[in-house]
Amino acid sequence: GDFEKAIEIASDVLAIRGRVVPSTLEHVHLKALMEDGEELVGETTIVGAAKRIRRIYLDPGDVAANETALTAIREADLICVGPGSVFTSVIPNLLVPGIAEAIDASHAKKAYICNVMTQRGESDSFSAAEHVGAVRANIDHRLFDYVMVNTGIPSSSTLDKYRGAGQSLVEPDLDRIRAMGYRVLPGDYMNETDMVRHDPMRLAARLMSLVERA
């Protein structure tokens, strides 16, 4: 009956380091306007439609931000946006009234961490610049100054496996991102095991170097 308490208990059971704070405690649905003009509701329906997403919304759109989340943003020295499903994970949290405004007002270092691989039904064939562009198109505020982009390349066998699932390596089109006014932090941030994901230690080391800068 208490969503925030449930997350706290789950975090203890799973021995999660750090805190998981919801952007809102209210019930909300995800709504998307597709490129063909159709409007869809629900993450599963949106991703399963295999259509290009034009814009994403919250329904209702006037939910209250979680004050604990706003406080965490105000007190942060570093704010990281992503990685994650750009339309159904990253952007929705930023659409909660007050969240984007709090990030915009913060004097912390702010970085967007671009995904390593595209996501079928959501970011098909998206380059790094297109991930950034999706956030900009849906959020009125400029929320980050730095963009972390992976330049590592998985093995050909791994790429073939992802290609068979309709996914591909996110193209690191660094010059396009710079042209958008962001500082790019390129690097091999990839960890290739049974699947391709970010290497947490490499990523954390580069992020902490931002905090240490004057």
Are 15 and 88 in contact by the 8 Å Cβ rule? The answer is no
Q: Is the pLDDT assigned to residue 149 strictly greater than 80?
A: yes
The pLDDT of residue 173 is 97
Provide the pLDDT for residue 28. Answer: 95
- Give the lowest-confidence range in 1-10, 126-135, 177-186: 1-10
Per-residue pLDDT tens over the stretch 162-171: 999 999 999 9
Look at the block and give the residue holding tokens 């290497």: 199
pTM above 0.85, yes or no: yes
Q: Which residue has the higher pLDDT, 179 or 11?
A: 179
Describe the chain by its helix, strand, coil percentages, rounded to 5.
40, 20, 40
**In the beta sheet, which residues pair with residue 78?**
109
In the predicted model, what is the mean pLDDT of residues 132-160?
95
Alpha carbon distance 211, 136 (integer Å): 24
Q: What is the pLDDT of residues 109-137, one digit of tens each?
A: 999 999 999 999 899 999 999 999 999 99
Question: What tokens does 202 get?
Answer: 């490499």
Which residue's structure tokens are 């990253």? 90
Q: pLDDT class for 5, splitting at 50, 70, 90?
A: confident
Average confidence (pLDDT) over 66-77: 97
Residue 214 has pLDDT above 70, yes or no: no
pLDDT bin (cut points 50, 70, 90) of residue 206 is: very high
Rounded distance, CA 19 to CA 208, Å? 18
Whole-number pLDDT of residue 19: 86
Q: What are residue 58's DSSP bridge partners?
A: 30
Between 107 and 214, residue with greater pLDDT: 107
Closest Cα to residue 124, out of 151, 160, 162, 69? 162
Q: Is the pLDDT of residue 151 over 90?
A: yes
Q: Are 206 and 171 in contact (CB under 8 A)?
A: no
Mean pLDDT of the chain: 94
Contacts of 110 (CB under 8 A, 6+ apart): 78, 79, 80, 81, 103, 143, 144, 145, 146
Adjacent-strand bridge partners of 186: 149
Residue 32, pLDDT above cutoff 90: yes
